[in-house]
Amino acid sequence: MTANHRYAKAESAAWTGLIGNACIAAVKAGVGVSTGSKSLLADACRSASEAAASFVSLTGVRRCRQLGSPYAPVPASRGRSEAATGVIASLLLMIVGLEIGISAIKSIADGVDDAPGWPAAAAVLVAFLVKEVGFGSKERGLDFYASLAALVGTGGSMLGRPLGMHLLYYLDPAASLIIVVIVFSSGYRVASASVMRSRFLEVEPSDLSELKAVVQRMEGVISIEVLRAREHGHYAVAEVVISVNPRISVLEGNEIAKRVREFIMKRFNHMTEVTVHVEPYDPGYPYKTNYDSTQEHSTTLLQ
């Protein structure tokens, strides 16, 4: 299986999860509002959080596909926008879940006089079967137990009518509280995953122009082969590969690297770590001009 085929398969699965969970959440929310089922509304919020998780997964897969590797550095602007989207979506879902939880607590405190209608239990059952058949997994995750809690809440409260047991009416708001906890757990998981992905972002090449110019002017540096930096919160780490005169000793090359590292960290206060690698300059490159290939002897930097 080629890399493109794997990415296409993963992207298709993420799209399926996103669209499927979004549709299920919409149906649950509509039926929950019409029937007054607290547990179904909470489960709709939980399905929406699963859709948000699928969206975060989708953005990650598409980014890896475009960059060619899951380990490729992520441009800072793109990484921040992806992280912000995931965090905002998670916070909104957690706020909605909190509102549903508060409403459920008030219902329990004020007393529940009736059970939700049968469409609530039917919607939970149909959504549960669709998830098991269409998105079946060998592992039982939190979504399985949330759907089970919603099914017990709606179905159990409905049994209160024929059995004449009004206490069963409380199963619906009680189940919603359990689901709200799961919603908070899912929201936190999505938000933390988004934040973790944004911790190591590639600094844009345009932002490295000053750093590149400074290193290029330093004594002993013929050219800069590689220059990249990654953001770690408010700070950054840099990796530099420089070319030096191939006729100097290893000790002199290391001395140049040491001076480059110390100068960068002193000049750019936000740099917490700088790694400098030294390579011998290849005079075959036509665009290098600060090295004389006809030079037989050169004064060493340590003399």
- Reported as half-sphere exposure (CB side, CA atoms, 13 A), residue 75 has a value of 10
Instruction: Provide CB contacts within 8 A for 121, sequence distance 6+.
Output: 151, 154, 155, 158
Distance separating alpha carbons of residues 255 and 275, to the nearest angstrom: 13
Please give the sequence-ordered ranges of beta strands (E in DSSP) within the chain, or none if there are none: 74-75, 201-202, 223-232, 235-244, 271-280
User: What is the value of pTM for the model shown?
Assistant: 0.60
- Reported as half-sphere exposure (CB side, CA atoms, 13 A), residue 130 has a value of 16
For residue 68, the model assigns a pLDDT of: 55
Task: Say which DSSP state 204 is in.
Answer: P
* Residue 78, Cβ density class (10 Å: 0-12 exposed, 13-18 middle, ≥19 buried): middle
List, in order of start, the domains of the chain with CATH numbers: 3-198 (no CATH), 203-280 (3.30.70.1350)
Q: For residue range 145-164, what is the model confidence (pLDDT) as tens digits?
A: 888 888 888 888 888 878 87
Distance separating alpha carbons of residues 225 and 213, to the nearest angstrom: 13
The string of DSSP codes covering 87-110 is HHHHHHHHHHHHHHHHHHHHHHHH
User: Per the structure block, which two tokens stand in for 206?
Assistant: 């345009």
Contact 42, 183 (CB under 8 A): yes
Q: For residue range 27-67, what is the model confidence (pLDDT) as tens digits?
A: 988 998 888 888 888 888 888 888 888 887 787 777 666 65
Q: For residue range 185-215, what is the model confidence (pLDDT) as tens digits?
A: 888 887 887 776 665 556 656 567 888 888 8
- Binned at pLDDT 50, 70 and 90, residue 232 comes out as low
- Binned at pLDDT 50, 70 and 90, residue 302 comes out as very low
